[in-house]
Structure 1
């Protein structure tokens, strides 16, 4: 990637100089952040612009991977290297400005909305936007909601596509890593031409990309399971290896109940069944080799992603003042996540008893034991068949790896008219925008819990001596086959087929947008320019539906209960924008004020208002001061509003645990108001929970139909310096410096179960706090009386976010021959740098802020700098990306801990290079360009972050959304133009 144009103003000031030198008229364009056409020098807010040449030199297949290298872009919620364990969103690529979340970043294509790629969310999957079709990308951070609407809290990313291409261009590219994996193959075909005597242009694109998998087993740091050695008193960024799973493919078995003695059985690698307890007498037999399972042998670092894309743009001048335009995009993305076979716990199947009954009734009414139970385990069982159980844990290796296949299809079409009004010279446009995303997901390696339970109750088959059948006649009629869980490869193919149940999900997202805009000049200001305006109305409808299979909805597979989520909303909006150039070429070069206001009416949250005011002052033509203040909003999305709640079992901290009759304070009084708690205090002297009561409290975490909009206040202020006097010496340069501050109030956060309990019981108005309705306890006289039965939680407007910092941009082009140097060609340097001053998150009103500046993913210092040399037909680029020293985020690690432990990464530097050569034209109709390069040239290794720590992405041993978890790769390509 190159950033020779760190800001629009810097780049376009150079464009103006170049055009002035050539005697050309400076074109007015629509700069992202405003809908008013203006000279490119009047960009009042910080704007980063990258064009198609920058993208080419970046050599990224996916535009989202390209953008993630900008310092102002935070960690993507979903990317190819951090989504393997998210079966619903594996392989999705989103953009996250200022680390405020993908839902607070508005993505546009040609200034219009793009349909979401994540059901229930506004997040756009950048896999659906063809990189080769992009003319430029404008990134504005903060303060754009008044112009573009909801979701622009952190800013806007606007993709401007090619719509006037002539000719044909074919590009092929191949990339592979040092390890020979992660292959990337890309083919692009771009074709276009004018028609109707130049009144129209049609541009079409067809592309295919295939990014191969990178497996954890193929990297030294991730080839075996590991934990951070902080758990063993060592450095945080060291790894303790191996830390293998204790769910072995041959199974571990415990005998418990009134007769059982807690025996622990397992199989050795040679198939011998041993009793840890009886062999060693104290349960200390080292069976780690026998019981260990290396999950990293199955996991991926990078999810394989295959894309088929097409795009078509059409412009036709139907009348002297009326132009018809059409944009269409189709994308099909296929991804395949991979992870280890399912770990099965007997408690998953026997939630009521915890294990397989030692004895049960067969179909004849006789008490029997499971015929597959080995004799040593039978011998260890007691005589009370009604209560003895066989607990087990087992890796279902016979099922093969788990994973999810996702096919996403996105279709978007925009049709409209644009033109001008005679006499007034006002421009107008009217358009209709329809977008649709569908998702078909199949997750393999899952089970049907009820079928598995049926298969475990087996008996001798009276009709086939020596064979076995399921006890339940109804289950047999449905094809039940007994399952043997004891030992290696003991599950038969027929039993596997019976208990297997792929998890499925079908989702559909639809977006309809109708908008009309009018822009032009109103009056001339005597001391300045023309007072210009833009005004418009917009109607938008969003609908999303995600449907799970019946087992998932009922919690009868390997997942907890997860409901269907469906919902919709619509919004009617109107906006007005004014731009007043008050002083032009007077005692100052330029002084102007502009602003915008937008009124919206949502079917969900009602009316909202956003506004923005901007000012610019250029005391001389090469210095410009700029500032802006804006109020933005984000309306809750469909998931946040309508998700009925997904089941969870978590260990929570009951604030009533330990309360007795003498305990004082609001919490104690509120706890004793519960009859069950009061009875236990009366009987036992205190409400002391057992360990079993503390574990696995059930609850549902979902949405909240009463949510209101988030509000954000954004301030930016800065300076642009673009001196002209070096131009005569062949040097063009610019420097920008901007301060930003974004505060988000009423932020929508998911309230944890612990916070639900704390907020309820610490409220003097208990039990009238609405959160108290989410808590259910066992009643007086019931078993476990007073203990928590269920704690539900969900989304609420309870949080706040604040981030501030400094952005710097530097750009310089030097014509070496014009400078009088003995070296020909042009040398360019571009850099963008962000210094993060603070980033505070408050999860609940009144709580202490969580300061995240300087943590992994939010470094205090980050920059991207590139050097580019152009000579004759050659282009060479060297790019360096820097992420400053960062602290691991973990609530269990205090500042005092970090005095003894290494809680910080070092600074990380990634270098990329590319060399291009334009072959001399060998025909009159074709040209060929070849290129090659390397990413992560010096094979910089990411910091080691073991499992169990917050920033670890499972299977990568690092924060894969932040650092390069793949390693060095090389690529080459060829482009032919006709």
Structure 2
């Protein structure tokens, strides 16, 4: 005799629990949409970061990833909410990554940090793909339940709690036509199966992604796709040039050519000398000096163990470690000086004495720092001598979680309980090269 179909027996349906919610409920009877991405679906994408997978779902507005190279410019604002250079995040419905709550097994995870700021959001690159069983995405706001960091929605990453035997995975990829952007992804995990008194799963991983320069793609050769020259009306190139842009004596000037070994000759009529009127064609194309794809290297591992002593008492322990080295870069430092240059207080009041051998204008360029009126407007220059600006990050992330839970019957009802302790650690260092000390510049 065949066994009855559970779907045909209304009394045989068991409890359905949404992992991560503090309220046990049936997810099929809720108005809020939930997307679930399992381990097999993640593997089929061929992507080496869970952030890249989640950023493909329709409700995702993107967020930081390894194609974002401007973190040196946007990081470390006064409120500490920097973008976290080299990290990756999920942003639901364009409300910002700090308004999208990321949970791991229903518990909050340590926020990212990359020494360019504290982004107030989880760095998804610090969560190894090898330990992920599935991901549940609640696409509607859940701030009444979780707080303001869940206004956009909730992403709950469910880790593997059971696995039988050894599983190994190796992956290599690159942009075939261009032959660059090589990515290596090696994962190894082992579990003792679910029939043991203690379920134990452990894994390790190594991921390396090599850079792609913006100079190697036609679409990124200039600040705007399709642009072929800085003189194009579309604009976008910078007025901070290696030859300098000088707003002096009511004129907008630049050098005709580099001047080496002598002081430039200034002719106010511009009929001769080394200076000429500044035009759009003199602007600097900074785009080729950026990364199209930033380089990164990550390795680490995890341990997940669960012991069921009885129906009323279970213990789960999870430890995760992730090490990341990454880099982003920008063109040579743009330096503004002068009262109308828009720089900081030190650069706005710089004066250049008439006796300075590098001052070709025959009079002191007074920046107004001595109580006298300013005698020039601004100077903009690209400091190629300092080399490109590079931001190199070394980040170590650790998370340790312990949970006791269980259920029991009392007074004719089923009672569920849990208690968790979470310890998170994030240590980030960043080396910034290509900058100058403005106080010494004065």
How big is the shift at 1:147?
A: 4.0
CA contact (8 A) 2:223 2:285 kept: yes
Structure 1 residue aligned with 2:81: none
Q: Which residue of 65, 73, 88 corresponds with 1:79?
A: 65
How big is the shift at 1:407?
A: 2.3
Q: Which residue of 193, 197, 204 corresponds with 1:206?
A: 204
Find the aligned partners of 1:227 and 1:40 in 2 and give their Cα distance. Answer: 45
Structure 1 residue aligned with 2:362: 381
Find the aligned partners of 1:388 and 1:74 in 2 and give their Cα distance. Answer: 48
Structure 2 residue aligned with 1:356: 352
How big is the shift at 1:120?
A: 5.1
Find the aligned partners of 1:447 and 1:254 in 2 and give their Cα distance. Answer: 22
Structure 1 residue aligned with 2:37: 50
CA contact (8 A) 2:245 2:278 kept: no
Q: 1:310 to 1:253 in 2, by over 3 A?
A: same
Find the aligned partners of 1:382 and 1:44 in 2 and give their Cα distance. Answer: 74
Find the aligned partners of 2:387 and 2:299 in 1 and give their Cα distance. Answer: 29
SS in 2 for 1:65: helix
Normalised by the length of structure 2, the TM-score is 0.79
How big is the shift at 1:101?
A: 2.0
Structure 1 residue aligned with 2:190: 191
Write the mapping of 1:656-695 to structure 2, written as runs, cut at 5 A. none
Structure 1 residue aligned with 2:89: 94
Q: Which residue of 31, 55, 58 corresponds with 2:18?
A: 31
Output the aligned Cα RMSD.
3.7
CA contact (8 A) 2:304 2:319 kept: yes
SS in 2 for 1:396: strand
Structure 1 residue aligned with 2:79: none
Structure 1 residue aligned with 2:419: 430
Find the aligned partners of 2:213 and 2:253 in 1 and give their Cα distance. Answer: 34
Give the gaps of 5 or more residues in structure 1. Answer: 1-16, 233-238, 359-368, 454-978
Q: Which residue of 400, 421, 432 corresponds with 1:413?
A: 400
1:444 aligns with 2:433: yes
Structure 1 residue aligned with 2:131: 133
CA contact (8 A) 2:209 2:297 kept: yes
How big is the shift at 1:422?
A: 5.5
Find the aligned partners of 2:347 and 2:27 in 1 and give their Cα distance. Answer: 66
How big is the shift at 1:126?
A: 0.8
SS in 2 for 1:98: coil
Normalised by the length of structure 1, the TM-score is 0.38
Find the aligned partners of 2:378 and 2:68 in 1 and give their Cα distance. Answer: 34
How big is the shift at 1:227?
A: 8.8
Q: 1:422 to 1:100 in 2, by over 3 A?
A: same
CA contact (8 A) 2:311 2:407 kept: no
SS in 2 for 1:393: strand
Structure number having the greater strand percentage: 1
Question: Structure 1 residues 219-228 or 311-320, which shifts more?
Answer: 219-228
Write the mapping of 1:321-720 to structure 2, written as runs, cut at 5 A. 321-347=312-338, 351=347, 353-358=349-354, 369-373=355-359, 377=360, 380-382=361-363, 392-421=379-408, 425-453=414-442
Find the aligned partners of 1:263 and 1:99 in 2 and give their Cα distance. Answer: 41
Structure 2 residue aligned with 1:457: none
Write the mapping of 1:143-182 to structure 2, written as runs, cut at 5 A. 143-177=141-175, 178-182=177-181
Find the aligned partners of 1:384 and 1:275 in 2 and give their Cα distance. Answer: 14
Q: 1:254 to 1:39 in 2, by over 3 A?
A: closer
Q: Which has the larger radius of gyration?
A: 1
Find the aligned partners of 1:384 and 1:104 in 2 and give their Cα distance. Answer: 49
How big is the shift at 1:311?
A: 1.5
Write the mapping of 1:242-281 to structure 2, written as runs, cut at 5 A. 244-253=237-246, 256=249, 264=253, 266-269=255-258, 273=264, 275=266, 277-280=268-271
How big is the shift at 1:209?
A: 1.4
How big is the shift at 1:124?
A: 1.2
Find the aligned partners of 1:106 and 1:383 in 2 and give their Cα distance. Answer: 57
How big is the shift at 1:203?
A: 0.7
Find the aligned partners of 1:64 and 1:322 in 2 and give their Cα distance. Answer: 34
CA contact (8 A) 1:174 1:183 kept: yes
Map Cα deviations across residues 111-168 of structure 1 (whole Å, 9 max, x no partner). Answer: 1111211555541111111122211111112253444444222221111110111211
Q: 1:352 to 1:38 in 2, by over 3 A?
A: closer
How big is the shift at 1:398?
A: 1.5
CA contact (8 A) 1:343 1:396 kept: yes
Find the aligned partners of 1:352 and 1:68 in 2 and give their Cα distance. Answer: 42
How big is the shift at 1:388?
A: 6.4
SS in 1 for 2:270: helix
How big is the shift at 1:338?
A: 0.7
SS in 1 for 2:98: helix
Find the aligned partners of 2:421 and 2:166 in 1 and give their Cα distance. Answer: 29
How big is the shift at 1:350?
A: 6.0
Q: How many residues align?
A: 405
Structure 2 residue aligned with 1:906: none
Find the aligned partners of 1:191 and 1:432 in 2 and give their Cα distance. Answer: 25
SS in 2 for 1:54: helix
Find the aligned partners of 1:422 and 1:137 in 2 and give their Cα distance. Answer: 31
Map Cα deviations across residues 256-306 of structure 1 (whole Å, 9 max, x no partner). Answer: 5xxxx859462515859464743338x994665994432122112232222
Map Cα deviations across residues 493-547 of structure 1 (whole Å, 9 max, x no partner). Answer: xxxxxxxxxxxxxxxxxxxxxxxxxxxxxxxxxxxxxxxxxxxxxxxxxxxxxxx
